[in-house]
Amino acid sequence: MSSSTESVVRSVSNSIDSIHGSPEVKEPWLPDRAELGSSRAPWYEKKSSNLRSSDISFIKEKGGMFDKFEVVLPGPEERAHRPPRGFHTFYINQLEMGLRFPLPRFIAALCQHIKISPSQLAPNSYSFLLALGVLLRYHNLPLVPYVLMQLVQVKILGPGKLYLSHKGDHAFIKGNPSSHKRWMRRFFFVKRVGKRRDPWKCEMSWRDNTYTLTPSTPERSPNLASFLDAMRDKSYNAPELIQEDLLCFFRFSRRGVELVGDLDDRMGKAEMLKALEEVEAASSGAAAPPKATKKRKASTPSRAPTPPIPTTKERPGPMPINTIPEASSPKKGPMKETGPGRVPPLNFFEDSLVVSPSGVVATNLLCHIAPDRDIGRLAGASNSEAVGLFSSNLIAALAWGGEVIKRLTRAQREAGDLRRSFNDTTEHCTKLETRLVDVEAARAEEARTAEVQLVALETRGLRLEAEKAVLLSEKKVLEAEKAALRAELDETKARAEEDSVCLRSEAINAWDLGKEFRANGYSEEEHPASFLDFKKALMGMADEEAAEEEEEEEEDDADATPSPPRSPKP
């Protein structure tokens, strides 16, 4: 094992041994004001959320929540350390620094080990943890608390605020913003929809004390020496490592974004940028000032002007082939400064720039990529001068190329976001169209039902009108019959009155006649039909009328049925 590796392992072991263990302290909530040693109220007691209802859609889209999480905005009296029952607190700035839902398992496991709530981590802690997770996954190292606690240290920024950063002198992840303005007022409450008992896999209550002991060494402990040796003298930009496609590729996000470009090229970009800075420093003859280096984020190259490109009209015709001296090679010895003929062509199958580099191959490459217009200038220049002429312009071209790549990457990311937004809009439109078709079908069905009911009502109305006409005709017939019966009744009454008058007059006459008989000296025995009794007279008349009716019926029967012929008497 090399000395550099031994020093790395020694520094890691010293940093681990320097941590003193402290007993685990379990507190359900943050300490009160007296325990904090200050009469002023802590920030989480004073700060309320300033989010609006329009931020809910951004929270769900940025956090990749979809329909599996419920987001609620806090009220004016609600505070971050006291969420509603079943809900937990998070911040929008944590989403902007890479936090996605569901909470990545290695972050939940780390928070469960150090006994804190994930909502207490400062926003930069998520960017740092996710960038570290990307590097560990890329180097095939497990994301377990044992590995993380050897690389991460916990810092307390104040009551309820914790910060995670590099342990010891390791600082290969940079580029996070120095501060987040008013991030403590941008909190929201979220709950996992479903009946899972423990969807967060860690304690979500706020605490002030932490548990920073390293977990026990597993049976098959990973080798961090090679990883730390690979990270030596390297600098990675955290915002470039927590891009959405890399988070999805390493399963820290479930938004389904595909990886853009080659993974190895993107993970090795930090080394390329650092080499470019070294070339810039070498060409300028002096090291870059510390202030300029501090302003850069993870060795990100500054923007360089676009190198001029000659047009076709400015480009002259082909020039004659001149002799260019070759550079000295460590294997073949120095070559002659002057010699006939041009530099031999570059053999891409045998020559090498990385495995076995040599000045001859580098000079051949520079000479063969030189345009014809530059050959006259390079013919009289030495090898160092030719390399300097190329490098001064190539650095600007490489820097501009890096800026172009950065812009293209940003444009491609925006195009991907636009494509996802378009797909979401298309899916939403498809759902709306399907819903519209269903609504139109329901309306058509309702119209058909209404039409059938209308026809039934019209038929029933016609039937009722017919029945009404029949009833009217029957009513008229009944009224006619009633009028006839009334006329007949009137006639019967009139006839009865006439008969009554006649009977009364006859009775009076009979009475007068009886009196006259009695006056003449006749007795009642001599006159059987008593004219003195009016009632008896009426009854006698009734019997006579009935006898007359019977005689009339007998006569009718006799007329209707002819009597058989009588046999002649002997």
pLDDT tens across 523-536, in order?
Answer: 555 555 554 555 56
Amino acid at position 73, single letter: L
pLDDT tens track for 404-430 = 777 888 888 888 888 888 988 998 999
DSSP state string for 379-396: HTS-HHHHHHHHHHHHHH
Which amino acid belongs to residue 264? D
Share of residues in the chain with pLDDT > 90 (%): 34
Residue 339 has pLDDT above 90, yes or no: no
| pLDDT single digits (tens) 76-102 | 999 999 999 989 999 999 999 999 999
CB proximity list for 132: less than 8 A, separation 6 or greater: 148, 151, 152, 173
Does 3 score more than 50 pLDDT? Answer: no
Q: How far is CA 433 from CA 249, 428, 437, in A?
A: 34, 9, 6
Taking residue 420's Cβ as centre, other Cβ atoms within 10 Å add up to 15
Let me know: does 298 contact 235? Beta carbons within 8 Å. Answer: yes
* Torsion region of 56: left, alpha or beta (phi above 0 gives left; psi -120 to 50 gives alpha): alpha
Per the model's pLDDT, the better-predicted residue between 560 and 245 turns out to be: 245
Per residue, what are the HEC states of 26-39? CCCCCCCHHHHCCC
Phi, psi at residue 395, to the nearest 5°?
-65, -45
Q: Tell me what the pLDDT averaged over the chain comes to.
A: 75
Strand arrangement, sheet containing 187-192: 69-72, 187-192, 88-91
Mean of pLDDT values over 61-70? 89
Largest separation between any pair of C-alpha atoms in the chain: 206
As a whole number, mean pLDDT of residues 192-221 equals 81
In this prediction, residue 398 carries a pLDDT of: 64
Q: Give the alpha-carbon dihedral of 144, 149, 151, 155, to 10 degrees.
A: 130
CA angle, 513 then 516 then 521, to 5° = 130
3-state class of 438 per DSSP?
helix
Average pLDDT over residues 350-372: 69
User: What pLDDT is recorded for position 337?
Assistant: 39
Q: Which pLDDT tens digit goes with each residue over 6-30? A: 444 444 444 444 433 333 333 334 4
Whether 515 shows a pLDDT value over 50: the answer reads yes
pLDDT on residue 207: 83
For residue range 469-501, what is the model confidence (pLDDT) as tens digits?
999 999 999 999 999 999 999 989 888 888 888
Chain-centre distance for alpha carbon 545: 109
pLDDT(453) > 70: yes
Q: What is the CA radius of gyration of the chain?
A: 59
pLDDT at 251 over 80: yes
Reported as a single tens digit per residue, the pLDDT across 268-301 is 866 656 655 665 666 565 444 443 333 333 333 3
The answer to whether the bond into 145 is cis (omega within 30° of 0) is no
- Interval 238-242 mean pLDDT: 92
For 150-193, what is each residue's pLDDT tens digit? Answer: 999 999 888 888 999 998 888 899 999 988 888 999 999 999 98
**What band does 381 get if pLDDT is binned at 50, 70 and 90?**
low
Q: Per the structure block, which two tokens stand in for 94?
A: 């944590």
Give strand pairing partners of 153. 165
- Percent of the chain residues topping a pLDDT of 70: 61
| pLDDT value of residue 148 | 93
- pLDDT band at residue 559, thresholds of 50, 70 and 90? low
Higher pLDDT: 52 or 401? It is: 52
Compare 546 and 205 and report the one with higher pLDDT.
205
Terminal alpha carbon distance of the chain? 178
How far apart are the C-alpha atoms of 93 and 124, rounded to whole Å?
9
Rounded to the nearest angstrom, the gap between the alpha carbon of residue 273 and the centroid of all alpha carbons in its chain is 39
pLDDT-based confidence at residue 75 (cuts at 50, 70, 90): very high
Signed CA dihedral, 459, 460, 465, 467: sign only:
positive
pLDDT at 504: 83
User: Considering only CA atoms, which of 377, 380, 381, 383 is closest in space to residue 364?
Assistant: 383
Whole-number pLDDT of residue 271 = 62
DSSP assignment of 25-74 equals ---SS---HHHHT-SSPPHHHH------TTHHHHHHHHHT-TTSEEEE--
pLDDT at position 117 is: 92
Q: What pLDDT, on the 0 to 100 scale, is given for residue 67?
A: 84
State if pTM tops 0.75: no
The model's pLDDT over 423-441, given as tens digits with 9 standing for 90+, comes to 889 989 999 999 999 999 9
Closest CA to 269 of 165, 394, 170, 405: 405
